Amino acid sequence: MTKQLITLTVNGDIHEIAVASHHTLLDVLRNDLGLTGTKRGCTAGSCGVCTVNGAKGEAICSCLTLAVEWDGRSVTTIEGIQEGNALHPVQAAFLEYGAVQCGFCTPGVIMTAKALLDVNTSPSEEEINETLAGAICRCTGHIKIKKAVRAAAIVLREREAAEAS
């Protein structure tokens, strides 16, 4: 098995890791770095539980990208979004609205929602639906999840307005 040395920034920490060339970013996050908040689901890009955010904040299925391609790049996982000791507004909203059943999809859904709200704090209903289509909750449906996303959007919007003034 060939291994390649890559430099990967995860949640701001720089790691130098020797990764197997056939391992996905998900494999490396979970098995090499012990960041098991990012879940392993369908491994085929259908469920979204493995969602992480790339350098531009974009949502990416970490199961569908090879780790060697991440040399020199940075990634944010669910472990890296809290703000100091406080939860990220999306995390806080999920708690407040009980947008969790078994919790397995939650990290992926939160990273998916965060990717949307990072670039657009006033998403339309259609944009929320379209975004969440890539992150599936099989327990409950998406009603509470969408409520939480809308609530988080309000918090982030207010923060934006406060920063602008």
Partner 1 sequence: MSGGSDLLVNMKFKLDTPKVLISLNGLPELQTVEELPDGSLRIGGGCKLTDLIKNPLIVAQCPALRDALYGVASRHIRNVGTLGGNLCLDTRCWYTNQSEQWRDKREGCFKTGPDLCHVLKTATRCHAINSSDSAPLLIAIGASVTLASHTGEREVPLIDFYRDDGVHHTVLESGEILVAVTVPRFEGRAIFAKLSQREGLDFAAGTFAAAVAGPNDHLESVRLVVNSMGAAPKVLIVSEQILKKSGLTDEGIEKAALAARGTMGEITNIFTPSGYKRRLVKALIRDALVELREQPAGNEASR
Report the interface residues with partner 1, using CB under 8 A: 24, 43-46, 48, 51, 54, 58-61, 64-66, 69, 112, 115-116, 129-131, 133-135
DSSP class of residue 76 equals: B
Contacts of 134 (CB under 8 A, 6+ apart): 48, 51, 59, 61, 112
Question: 17 vs 111, which CB is nearer to partner 1?
Answer: 111
To which H or E segment does residue 128 belong? helix 125-132
Contacts of 157 (CB under 8 A, 6+ apart): 121, 122
CB of 38 to partner 1, least distance (A): 13
Question: 24 vs 121, which CB is nearer to partner 1?
Answer: 24
* 139, 102 Cβ separation under 8 angstroms: yes
CB of 158 to partner 1, least distance (A): 25
* 19, 28 Cβ separation under 8 angstroms: yes
Question: 65 vs 91, which CB is nearer to partner 1?
Answer: 65
d(CA 30, CA 40): 9
CB of 56 to partner 1, least distance (A): 9
CB of 118 to partner 1, least distance (A): 12
d(CA 74, CA 57): 10
CB of 70 to partner 1, least distance (A): 10
d(CA 81, CA 91): 9
Question: 116 vs 152, which CB is nearer to partner 1?
Answer: 116
Question: 20 vs 92, which CB is nearer to partner 1?
Answer: 20
